[in-house]
Chains A and B, each alone.
Chain A
Amino acid sequence: MTVLGPAQRSPATATTAFLYRVDGSASWTVGTAHIIVSVSGPMEVNKRDELPDIATLEIVVRPDVGVASTREQFLQDRIRRVVGPVIALELHPRTLIQIVVQIVQSGDTKTLNTIALSASINATYMALLDAGVPVRSTVSATSIVCYGTSSIQGGLTTGVLIDPTRPELEKIEKDITSVHTIAYELKGGQIERLLLSESVGTFTEDEVFECYDTAAKVCEETNGTMREAVTKSVQQKGGWRD
């Protein structure tokens, strides 16, 4: 069953371990979005932020232009909801795990807030792996943009863009019907459960379920990209023998 039109997807690239002063770093590029994330910890925590039984998780999102606003607060909250349950915080009580998400190019248009979120989640997860922070499972996220253009004949052509670039978004901006940011938890390369479903716009139940299915496929592919990047960085570090 296909409710939505044909899907088009831009590829993602990842690099890790390029910053020296922090414990882990990753950069995630998809479409026109570019996110750099650093992770430090477990380390000393401020007395007032200290938690007796688990590690404190601090997430700082920094915008590409200007000072942090409600948009960054929103991103921070969603990233926390996705990666928070995955990190084994209870293994390092009374410490701090600090995540800094630097948006270099957000890839979103002014009204949307989806590509930056899904790319940030992927980059954050890669940085956590590079920092050696214990995690329970794999996470990957994707953005799905559904649009419908009515032609002169009165027919409706619909389509789906997965992780689109900014020029692509700008071209269909007026015709966007709904935007979905979806994050899955994966184990052994297979999707396990849904961690985040952030949808804006009008859509039917069938449509959103189809988006979940599409996202599941994309997230499994993304997981492969992550695996490649991690393998590469481990090989570069020299701790890997074929």
Chain B
Amino acid sequence: MPRDLTPSTIENTFVLKALTERIRLDSRSFNQLRDLDISFSSTEYGVVDVKLGRTRVIARISAEITQPYADRPYDGLFIIATEISPMAAPTFEAGRKSEDELVISRIVEKSIRRSGALDTESLCIISGEKCWAVRADVHFLDHDGGLMDAACIAVSAGLLHFRRPDITIEGVGSRREVIVHPITERVPVPLAVLHVPVCVTFSFFDVRRASSAISGRTRNDEAKDVDDDDVEEEDDSSVAVLVDATLQEELLRHGYMSVTANTNREICQIQKGGDMPVDVGVLLSCSEAAIMVAEKVTKLINKRLKEDGARRNVGNLLVEARAENDR
């Protein structure tokens, strides 16, 4: 297992210098997402392939019937598995959780599961006895930064695309029986998805520190300058805020913040990392930007879902045959 990649000093100064001139190496603007591509499996429900630039993630949603937890008899189970294999990058070791992986799984968990994107009460079949256990397996295929953003989009899209088999309950009292109707017999049922969380990661670069490093001056000189000026100028240009960083930018950044938002303009989760403090103003503008991105991404997910639906629903049979009521 090779060691993690560390960018050279030349690379570091080059990227930072470019950022002080408001240029990113891939010629994107600071608040521009990489090309996002979402595709669904043609054969199965709930299999999504998300490509965010060179980052690629496949999410797979599955459901089976189990017993609910004794203390939550009315709730179904929902698990998100985010294990990173060496396929994403050889620096990840198989079967061992790295620190990055922990952060990613926590953010995805907070964004989707704890924000209540999936209504777990709707997964209950017979209280205290039987419920659906929905499982989201996230496979990271290629790592070029923004793994959590891609994972979050993939799981959200997967939950919307997934269909579980229809069931009926027969009998009364203790002799109740659950009959599962295969997908070929009855039109399968979508999950109760309450909102579509989209995670956006902002990377912060301390441009002032960077420019002093480039010009060869120490931090003390910089501090002296500030004293001379008497009033410290905290304009926007001292912090460069980048949306959807590539791996190189991720390795060089001074701090980051992941914001999960949805189209209802709700912030589901904020996680701030790195050793760089940022202003309240930056936090607010990031939240606003996250909502904009969420709207754009949700629009794309819905467009792709519609295309996939049209392809499957030949002759309008799925609509005619379904037993479910419109919400």
Contact = CB atoms under 8 A, between A and B. Distances in A.
Contacts of B141: 19, 36, 38, 102
Interface in A102-153: 102, 104-105
Contacts of A67: 81, 83
A62 B139 contact: yes
Contact of A100 (B1, B47, B94, B144): B94
Contacts of A98: 86, 90
Given A64-B137, A96-B1, A100-B94, A36 B81 contact: no
A21 interface: yes
Among A21, A66, A96, residue most surrounded by chain B Cβ atoms (within 10 Å): A21
Given A62-B85, A100-B86, A20 B44 contact: no
Interface residues of B, number: 28
Interface in A44-100: 44-46, 58, 60, 62, 64-67, 96, 98, 100
B2 A43 contact: yes
Interface size class of A (residues with CB under 8 A): 20 to 34
Given A19-B56, A20-B142, A102-B139, A32 B43 contact: yes
B114 to A, nearest CB: 22
A40 interface: yes
A43 B60 contact: no
B108 interface: no
B143 A21 contact: yes
Contact of A60 (B3, B43, B86, B142): B86
A3 interface: no
B57 to A, nearest CB: 12
A19 B89 CA distance: 10
B142 A21 contact: yes
Contacts of B41: 105
Contacts of A44: 1-3
Contacts of A22: 86-87, 89-90, 142
A38 B92 CA distance: 13
Interface in B58-107: 58, 60, 62, 81, 83, 85-90, 94
A66 B135 contact: yes
Interface string A140-174: 00000000000000000000000000000000000
A123 to B, nearest CB: 12
Given A32-B43, A46-B1, A98-B86, A65 B139 contact: no
B67 to A, nearest CB: 17
A65 B137 contact: yes
B136 to A, nearest CB: 10
Given A22-B89, A105-B47, A65 B1 contact: no
Nearest to B247: A21
Interface string A13-24: 000000111100
Nearest to A49: B1
A127 B147 CA distance: 23
A66 B144 CA distance: 25
B90 A21 contact: yes
A235 B54 CA distance: 21
Contacts of B44: 105
Contacts of B86: 22, 38, 40, 60, 98, 100
18 contacts: A19-B141, A20-B142, A20-B144, A21-B88, A21-B89, A21-B90, A22-B87, A25-B87, A44-B1, A64-B60, A65-B137, A67-B81, A98-B86, A98-B90, A100-B87, A102-B58, A104-B47, A105-B47
Given A25-B87, A44-B2, A100-B87, 10 more contacts: A19-B141, A19-B142, A21-B88, A22-B90, A45-B1, A62-B83, A65-B137, A66-B135, A66-B137, A102-B87
